[in-house]
Amino acid sequence: MATAPAAQQNATPINKPRREMREVRAPEQFQFTRQGQTIEGVLLSIEPTLVKGKQALEYMLQDEKNERLTFLGTNDLDKKIQPAHVGHWLHIRYERDDDSFSKPGQNAMKMFKVMVAAQKEPGF
């Protein structure tokens, strides 16, 4: 039994475009653990997510090195960061803890300073 050749000898080779490939990694999960911490970058998305059975918002930024990172919203962040900010550069600083209206056994509310660029970044 004869088999057909894999490629014809007179066939013209197909020119495939050359592509420079790079690995895409999942965003790093950032946590605000100490006062004074800052993060900044272009806000890429705001997505609802489920954390320990509770609804939360997850924010994704892309920094100046084109690295993506995510962080979970807090009551304060959720009030300050808006969908209209997608495409804008954000600078977020964990300022202080406010326990003035905390109930016994609850953590103090984290307070942030959020700065948003007036104009969207190029390409957004």
Q: How many angstroms from the chain centroid is the CA of residue 103?
A: 32
The pLDDT assigned to 93 comes to 98
Q: pLDDT tier at 101 (50, 70, 90 boundaries)?
A: confident
Q: Could you give the dihedral angle defined by the CA atoms of residues 60, 93, 103 and 75, in that order, rounded to the nearest 10 degrees?
A: -30
Q: Say how far apart CA 120 and CA 87 lie, in whole Å.
A: 5
Average of pLDDT values for 25-36? 93
Q: Are 46 and 84 in contact (CB under 8 A)?
A: no
Pick the CATH number of 28-119 from 2.40.10, 2.40.50, 1.20.120, 1.10.287: 2.40.50
pLDDT, greater one: 106 or 58: 58
**Among residues of the chain, what percentage have pLDDT more than 90?**
70
Distance CA 25, CA 11 (A): 39
Give the pLDDT confidence of 13-23 residue by residue, as tens digits.
678 889 999 88
Q: How many Å apart are CA 98 and CA 77, to the nearest integer?
A: 14
Per-residue pLDDT, averaged over 45-71, amounts to 95
Domain boundaries, the chain: 28-119
For residue 108, the model assigns a pLDDT of 84
